[in-house]
């Protein structure tokens, strides 16, 4: 040190900023790109699809660290020959198999009728679940009736599998005078507490922390009911997803967190949500919870995985994250044109097939069903949905004017309406009367 307190040395060396090593290449940003675009020929021949039975089935109480590989594999039960095999085979009775087959077929018939209604201008909006019916129907049959479901907007199969009246669903879609929600929700955002079906929200993934909170309350009360939530793979980028996983992990919450990886969000492929780097089931690994990756077009695999996760939750062994590997066969909604961003033949080349066709093939293979009965069932369901739609349309459709009294906008917010809302309601009614409305 000098007398002035300064450091000795080469002043130019001290003043020189940190310089990068020479000859480094410039940085580049990776932008994910889907495998196929409009005009491309889809080819999934390089997919690694394990045979049914290749994935082991651990004990429901196994530690998450001991089952890490299940987040990267694929639980499958149904083979191409229609036979069920392996340790995940739930060995369901014939009655249950046929009930699930009917529920999936009814869900598809319902979707077709409501899609057509939107195209006819009878409602403003609709979202089909074509190709994903096994995800909701399989889970609904594996859960208890009083378990609470927190769905996204493509799980109408849960309500149908729980025998909820489809006329009630249609009334909600039309927002008509038969709509129990009084037109306060967008079409397809059902709410049916009696069916264990929590209100659907248009805001992505809000149902995840809601499901975790509901399940925490159930555990705190010493109840036996568990919760299950669903979201799309794109929604795993939302903060609510990660907040829910943190709480679920820390408190070992009795909840099943389902990620429906149908390969596409509204116009962007799953790579933008992280699919190029790893599986969505692998998100469970970082949180220290059980993770399963399941063939989402195999309803027996969906049922088995859901039952395993439900048994695990009821045994106080903690939550499970299930990735359902499936494919969105149709557009994201009636407002979407998938032909603008994906290969036109991509759906027909999807290697895991159609969930209804696969269960039908299984039922035929084991001798409890045949093609004639399938065709007759499809006709009967189509006619039933058509007749029910006609009944619902008598309650009103889009463009037929106001279906609910104006004063109803003040109702159902408080258990007892406070005085200031009563005054506002009366003021509105007085103004209506003065205007001759």
* pLDDT, position 247: 98
The CA angle 22-24-28, to the nearest 5 degrees, is 155
| Sequence-ordered list of residues with C-beta below 8 angstroms from that of 13, at least 6 positions apart, any chain | none
pLDDT in tens, 286-316: 999 999 999 999 999 999 999 999 999 999 9
230 versus 408: which is more confidently predicted? 230
Helix (H, G, I), strand (E, B) or coil at 224: coil
pLDDT in tens, 196-212: 999 999 999 999 999 99
The CA angle 215-220-221, to the nearest 5 degrees, is 100
* pLDDT, position 92: 98
- Average pLDDT for 11-18: 62
The reported pTM is 0.92
Kindly tell me the sign of the dihedral angle through the C-alpha atoms of 93, 99, 101, 107. negative
* pLDDT, position 14: 58
pLDDT in tens, 334-369: 999 999 999 999 999 999 999 999 999 999 999 999
Whether 295 contacts 352, CB under 8 Å: yes
Q: Of 1.10.540.10, 3.40.1280.10, 3.40.50.10540, 3.40.50.970, which CATH number belongs to 64-393? A: 3.40.50.970
The confidence band for 219, taking pLDDT boundaries of 50, 70 and 90, is very high
CA separation for the pair 113, 18 (Å, rounded):
67
Q: Is 221 exposed, middle or buried (0-12, 13-18, 19+ CB in 10 A)?
A: exposed
* pLDDT, position 325: 98
CA separation for the pair 287, 291 (Å, rounded):
10
* pLDDT, position 436: 87
pLDDT in tens, 57-108: 999 999 999 999 999 999 999 999 999 999 999 999 999 999 999 999 999 9
The two tokens of residue 234 are: 């794109």
Beta strand 290-295 with 148-150 is unpaired
The confidence band for 403, taking pLDDT boundaries of 50, 70 and 90, is confident
CA separation for the pair 194, 160 (Å, rounded):
13
CA separation for the pair 200, 412 (Å, rounded):
17
For the chain, the domains span: 64-393, 405-437
* pLDDT, position 3: 54
């Amino acid at each position: 040190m000098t007398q002035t307190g300064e450091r000795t040395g080469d002043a130019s060396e001290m003043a020189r900023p940190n310089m990068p090593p020479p000859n480094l290449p410039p940085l580049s940003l990776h932008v994910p790109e889907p495998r196929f675009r409009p005009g491309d020929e889809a080819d999934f021949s390089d997919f690694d699809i394990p045979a049914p039975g290749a994935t082991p089935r651990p004990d429901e109480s196994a530690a998450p660290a001991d089952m890490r590989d299940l987040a990267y594999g694929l639980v499958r039960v149904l083979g191409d020959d229609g036979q069920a095999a392996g340790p995940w085979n739930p060995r369901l009775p014939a009655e249950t198999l046929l009930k699930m087959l009917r529920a999936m077929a009814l869900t598809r018939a319902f979707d077709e009728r409501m899609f057509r209604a939107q195209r006819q201008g009878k409602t403003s909006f609709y979202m089909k679940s074509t190709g994903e019916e096994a995800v909701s129907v399989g889970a609904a049959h594996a859960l208890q009736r009083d378990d609470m479901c927190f769905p996204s907007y493509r799980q109408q199969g849960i309500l149908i599998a729980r025998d909820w009246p489809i006329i009630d669903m249609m009334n909600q879609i039309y927002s008509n005078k038969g709509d129990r929600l009084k037109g306060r929700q967008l079409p397809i955002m059902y709410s049916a507490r009696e069916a264990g079906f929590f209100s659907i929200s248009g805001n992505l993934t809000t149902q995840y922390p809601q499901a975790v909170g509901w399940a925490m309350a159930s555990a705190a009360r010493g109840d036996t009911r568990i919760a299950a939530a669903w979201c799309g793979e794109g929604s795993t980028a939302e903060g609510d997803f990660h907040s829910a996983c943190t709480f679920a992990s820390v408190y070992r919450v009795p909840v099943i967190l389902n990620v429906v990886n149908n390969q596409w969000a509204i116009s962007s492929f799953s790579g933008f949500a992280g699919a190029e780097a790893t599986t969505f089931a692998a998100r469970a690994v970082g949180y220290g919870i059980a993770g399963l990756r399941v063939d989402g077009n195999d309803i027996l695999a969906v049922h088995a995985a859901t039952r395993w996760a439900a048994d695990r939750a009821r045994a106080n062994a903690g939550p499970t994250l299930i990735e359902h590997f499936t494919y969105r066969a149709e557009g994201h909604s009636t407002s979407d044109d998938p032909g603008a961003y994906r290969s036109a033949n991509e759906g027909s080349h999807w290697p895991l097939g159609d969930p209804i066709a696969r269960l039908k093939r299984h039922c035929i293979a084991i001798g409890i069903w045949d093609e004639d009965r399938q065709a007759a069932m499809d006709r009967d369901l189509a006619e039933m949905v058509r007749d029910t739609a006609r009944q619902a349309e008598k309650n009103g459709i889009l463009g037929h004017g106001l279906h609910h009294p104006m004063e109803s906008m003040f109702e159902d917010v408080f258990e007892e309406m406070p005085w200031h809302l009563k005054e506002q309601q009366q003021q509105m009614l007085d103004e209506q009367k003065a205007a001759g409305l």
